[in-house]
Homo-oligomer: A and B are copies of this chain.
Amino acid sequence: MKKSLIALAVLAAAGAASAQSSVTLFGVVDVGLQSVRADGSGSVLKMGTGLNSSSRLGFRGTEDLGGGMSASFWLEAGMNYDDGSGQAGPSLNNQAAGAANGGGLSFQRRSTVSLAGNFGELRLGRDYVPSFWNHTVFDPFGTVGSGAATNLRLKLGNSNGIQTTTRASNSIGYFLPGNLGGFYGQFMYAMGENNSNAANSSDGRYTGLRLGYANGPVNVAYSYGQTKVLARNDYKDQSIAGSYNFGSFTLMGQWGQEKLGNATGLGGFTKNSAWMLGGSVPVGAGEIKASYGRAKLDGAAGTPKGSQFAVGYVYNLSKRTAVYTTYSRVSNDAGVGAVFFTGLGASATGTSSSGLDIGLRHNF
């Protein structure tokens, strides 16, 4: 994904011979039609955004500090290109949800400043949590559109108002350097910013890590994240996942588990376990993708189970522009009901819902 370069801007300042710099404007414009229907609940046809790749608009830049060191920043805003609004504001302290921003642009997908060198990278600000990456890296549909395996995952956290399933504000991140023979890793500590005297002084504090190994066709990783929630007895999300590129196709798999002590959302269940298998096959200028996954809820009445099957096709008009389509179906097993799919509200026991996306994606 090549990016448009805003500026060469060689800052030839006296006494700062090494200070070269660039600022890049980048974005993904992804708009498509999405039809979502559930047994007995009608259907909705809408214009969606980010069904193939999350719609965004951002600025980022790097300065060479000399001696192998660099400073950089990254600002990335979520965009709803179907109506021009910015994506809703999240939590500012990793606790209560943020105020609706009524459509204003905000750089809350990522907003970071970094110092990097031989030691790795130190990153401050709002960033993805380490425990999020397995969900998207090892899913042929990423975490977007009707086919994402997160239709069955992160349900405990999201429905109980946990603000750190995907990103955290006020975070200190550390990334291992890139020269460890394929081993990679990152660690994060993020603050809830409460008063030390308060009963909930540690609420919103996130601690997490991700460790992996990528070499040639192999990529595997383990991740774990924990968020302090006094009233909920803490939220934990862990996963192990991997992919193998066989050349003519790529296989992917995930297993993960969420836990939340005193859950109230999603029927009071306290554990969500899920696995997914998927893959992608290049076909000419395009790619076919498919996945199948199952999930199970525990800890309250019954142990509802469900599954998702998804298939998609992406046709590349160029390196930066593609048309795509995805179809997925989420089915609740008979006997015990649970809501897994976020499309059209509750699907009853033994019913299913489906989503169909078709759209156009343009990177810049």
A residues whose Cβ falls under 8 Å from a Cβ of B: 2-7, 9, 11, 13, 15-16, 18-19, 21-23, 25, 27, 29-32, 41-47, 57, 59, 61, 63, 65-66, 69, 71-73, 75, 77, 79-86, 89, 91-93, 98-113, 115, 124-126, 169-172, 191, 193-198, 317-321, 344, 359-360, 362, 364
Question: Given the complex of chains A and B, what is the CA–CA distance between A15 and B214 in angstroms?
Answer: 26
B75 to A84, Cβ gap below 8 A? yes
With known contacts A16-B319, A73-B362, A89-B102, A197–B31 Cβ distance under 8 A: no
How far is the CB of A345 from the nearest CB of chain B, in Å?
9
| A4-B9, A84-B111, A113-B362 known; A105-B102 Cβ under 8 A | no
Is the CB–CB distance between B110 and A86 below 8 Å? no
- B111 and A63: CB pair below 8 A? no
Residues of chain B with a CB closer than 8 A to A42's CB: 195-198
Write out the residue numbers on chain B whose beta carbons fall within 8 Å of the beta carbon of A196: 42-45
> Within the assembled complex, what's the spacing in Å between the Cα atoms of A5 and B5?
11
Contact A170 to B362, CB < 8 A, known contacts A4-B22, A83-B92, A99-B103: no
Cβ of B169 and Cβ of A84 under 8 Å apart? yes
- Across the interface, A92 reaches (CB within 8 A) one of B6, B7, B103, namely B103
The 4 closest A-B pairs by CB, nearest first: A104-B104, A42-B197, A84-B111, A101-B102
B318 in contact with A65 (CB, 8 Å): yes
* Bound CA–CA A273/B187 (angstroms): 48
Residues of B within 8 A of A362 (CB): 63, 71-73, 113
Q: Which residues of chain B come closer than 8 Å to A319, judged between CB atoms?
A: 11, 13, 15-16, 19
Given the contacts A43-B196, A63-B362, A126 and B321 also touching, CB distance less than 8 Å: no
Whole-angstrom CA separation of A47 from B46 in the bound complex: 39
In the complex the two chains form, what is the Cα distance from A46 to B22 in whole Å?
30
Question: Of B27, B44, B84, B93, which contacts A109 at CB under 8 A?
Answer: B84
* Residues of chain B lying within 8 A (CB to CB) of residue A45: 191, 193, 196
Chain B residues contacting A82 (CB-CB under 8 Å) are 111, 124-126, 169-170
Specify which of A15, A110, A125 lies most central, judged by the most chain B CB atoms within 10 Å of its CB.
A125
* Chain B CB within 10 Å, residue with most, of A91, A125, A364: A364
Q: Which of chain B's residues have a CB closer than 8 A to the CB of A195? A: 41-44, 344
Question: Is the Cβ of A63 less than 8 Å from the Cβ of B318?
Answer: yes
Give which listed residue, B65, B84, B115, contacts A125 with CB less than 8 A: B84
Pairwise interchain contact B101-A47, C-beta atoms closer than 8 A: no
Q: Can you list 12 A-B pairs, Cβ within 8 angstroms, ordered by A?
A: A4-B7, A4-B22, A23-B25, A31-B112, A73-B364, A80-B92, A82-B126, A84-B106, A85-B106, A98-B102, A103-B106, A103-B108
Closest to A94 in B: B83
Please tell me if the beta carbons of B4 and A23 are within 8 angstroms of each other in the complex: yes
* A108 and B92 contact, Cβ closer than 8 Å, known pairs A4-B6, A11-B319: no
Residue of B nearest to A44 (CB): B195
Asked whether A25 lies within 8 Å of B46 as measured between CB atoms, the reply is: no
Q: Given the complex of chains A and B, what is the CA–CA distance between A37 and B82 in angstroms?
A: 39
In the complex formed, the residue of B with least CB distance to A16 is B319
The closest CB in chain B to the CB of A22 belongs to: B4
In contact, A85 and B81 (Cβ under 8 angstroms): no
